[in-house]
Structure 1
Amino acid sequence: MPINMHAAAGGEAALPRMRGALARPPATTEGPGGPSGLQRMRGTVTLSLRTPDQQEPAALISLDAPSAGSEEEPEKAMRGAVQPRDKAVSEASRAIADMAERLGVAPAVRDRALDVFRGMEERKGRAHHYYAKGAGRSGDALYAACLYVACRRAGAPRTFKELAAATRDGAASRKDIGRLITLIRKRLGDEAGGEAMDIGVVRAADYMERFGALLGMGDDEVRAVQEAARRMQDQLDVRRNPDSTAAAIIYMAMEKRAGAARSSIRDVSTATGVAENTIKQAYREISPHAVLLFG
């Protein structure tokens, strides 16, 4: 059947009606400033059929669709890389703040603990097993280890028992805290020249002010037990943990009190977190040197 190519008004050739072909959509004009002519559709291809004598492209491709290599993709990838670390720091900030409040840690020390955590996050690389929580475990051990390091460097140490009590896993986290402290020292120390980070040495005298405050000791008593701890360190060879030695010295000082002002060994144990039997053993070891310590 012949096709009439001159039936359209104004001399323009009419588009053929062919089965399966796409007819050119009519020109449209939107409001002021809107597009006219062929509607441009984002991410689609608009086909326009022409007769052989009309020299126009057979297909008009909308340029609005973003290509695979557009600038949006690197931005999305960057956001995806930053979000997990930001989330980890945010979670750590809340957890460390909660632990610090329960332990009576000063805000400046709390902030230093968060800085330790950030340092570990930046350097964890592939070896991030220290942050892997695992089944039935929490990330509290890492937060407690960061607090331990910060407290040590501030000269206000906390015992493993105190730190473990502030975690959700309780006493079960003590070993994890110890391992993580070792890892923190090595990992952050490497940045300073290949040696383990120096977090200071804990001495019995470092515990006296805090333990004394918990037991209601006055300033003079606190200074007396601090001086006793220094004398013991300089002149005696007592190989015990500094917290248990501090508890024993405080118990010796409490015995010098008169009447109701004296505190029992149970009171000292509750305030210091050191077991009663441990205090008794340390007391028996240092009590023969009472004159040297308090004379």
Structure 2
Amino acid sequence: MNISKTTQDAAKHIFKMTDDAKYFKGKSTEVIIAGCIFIACRQSNAPRTFREIFALTKVPKKEIGRTFKMLEKFFQDDKNKPFIRAINQDAPPPTLSATNATELCARYCSGLRFNNNHLMARISSELCEKSSSVKDLAGRSPLSVAAACIYMISHLMGESRSSKQIAAVAGVSDGTIKTAYRFLYQERASLIDEDWLTKGGRLDRLPVN
């Protein structure tokens, strides 16, 4: 998962703290480990989704979520707060909010091996931010929104990737990507930035569906 050693060590420390406190009674070691990895990644500003942690540990996403909520309570205890701040001085308090779609773009673009990966990740992230104004996308998974934005930008910028190629990297179905893309396409006039067109983007490259 390309998790840094600092984050790995943080996950180990979190596990040891909860183990010493006998905080998790009745939960399997695998479930606790999955939760510790999830919170360590988030606190190190390198968040991973429940889906990605599931792929690594085979612990169901619901179990990871329950464990994370318990870890939130654990770190609300005053005697444990100094430790969580020590992981990353600038990190916000633990939160169960969904991984932001813009945070996923760089990781997904890297997996798709674009010629100009930095540009594609930046523009896709900008489109993700703009997509918050699309009412039909409200409540949709950040994974599917990020994937749909990359799908749109890849075609706009002439480095097209199929919905199936993006689905393989993002871990969502190609049908989900196309559904989210349709809503983006409907609002393309307000979403596409003029600056992207000056960098080689062309609206006539966008798939109609």
**What is the aligned partner in structure 1 of residue 123 from structure 2?**
224
Greater CA drift, 103-112 or 183-192? 183-192
Q: In structure 2, what residue type is equivalent to 1:166?
A: L
Structure 1 residue corresponding to 2:70, chosen from 183, 190, 193: 183
1:129 aligns with 2:19: no
CA RMSD of aligned residues (A): 2.3
Structure 1 outlier segments of 4+, above 6 Å: none
Do 1:110 and 1:150's aligned partners in 2 also have CA atoms closer than 8 Å?
Answer: yes
1:120 aligns with 2:25: no
Do 1:248 and 1:283's aligned partners in 2 also have CA atoms closer than 8 Å?
Answer: yes
Distance in 1 of aligned mates of 2:7 and 2:108: 18
1:114-150 per-position Cα deviation (integer Å, ceiling 9, x unaligned): 222122123335x5223xx3xxxxx222212111111
Do 1:229 and 1:293's aligned partners in 2 also have CA atoms closer than 8 Å?
Answer: no
Aligned-pair CA distance for 1:104: 1.4
Aligned-pair CA distance for 1:193: 9.1
Do 2:147 and 2:167's aligned partners in 1 also have CA atoms closer than 8 Å?
Answer: yes
**What is the aligned partner in structure 1 of residue 174 from structure 2?**
276
5+ residue gaps, structure 2 = 82-91, 194-209
Aligned-pair CA distance for 1:105: 1.1
Aligned-pair CA distance for 1:190: 2.5
Aligned-pair CA distance for 1:211: 0.8
- Please state whether the residue corresponding to 1:199 is helix, strand or coil: coil
**What is the aligned partner in structure 1 of residue 85 from structure 2?**
none
**What is the aligned partner in structure 1 of residue 201 from structure 2?**
none
Structure 1 residue corresponding to 2:38, chosen from 132, 148, 161: 148
Query: Between Structure 1 and Structure 2, how many residues are aligned?
Result: 177
Distance in 1 of aligned mates of 2:173 and 2:125: 21
CA change 1:128–1:282 in 2 (3 A) is same
**What is the aligned partner in structure 2 of residue 242 from structure 1?**
142
**What is the aligned partner in structure 2 of residue 164 from structure 1?**
54
Do 2:134 and 2:183's aligned partners in 1 also have CA atoms closer than 8 Å?
Answer: no
Aligned-pair CA distance for 1:243: 1.4
TM-score w.r.t. length of structure 2: 0.75
CA change 1:291–1:115 in 2 (3 A) is farther
TM-score w.r.t. length of structure 1: 0.54
Distance in 2 of aligned mates of 1:166 and 1:155: 19
Q: In structure 2, what residue type is equivalent to 1:207?
A: L
- Please state whether the residue corresponding to 1:166 is helix, strand or coil: helix
**What is the aligned partner in structure 1 of residue 94 from structure 2?**
199
**What is the aligned partner in structure 1 of residue 200 from structure 2?**
none
Distance in 2 of aligned mates of 1:146 and 1:273: 22
**What is the aligned partner in structure 2 of residue 252 from structure 1?**
152
CA change 1:293–1:111 in 2 (3 A) is farther
Distance in 1 of aligned mates of 2:2 and 2:10: 15
5+ residue gaps, structure 1 = 1-102, 134-138
Do 1:119 and 1:188's aligned partners in 2 also have CA atoms closer than 8 Å?
Answer: no
Aligned-pair CA distance for 1:269: 0.5
Aligned residues with identical type, % of pairs: 27
Higher relative contact order (CA 8 A, sep 6+): 2
CA change 1:193–1:117 in 2 (3 A) is closer
**What is the aligned partner in structure 2 of residue 26 from structure 1?**
none
Do 1:156 and 1:207's aligned partners in 2 also have CA atoms closer than 8 Å?
Answer: no
Larger Rg: 1
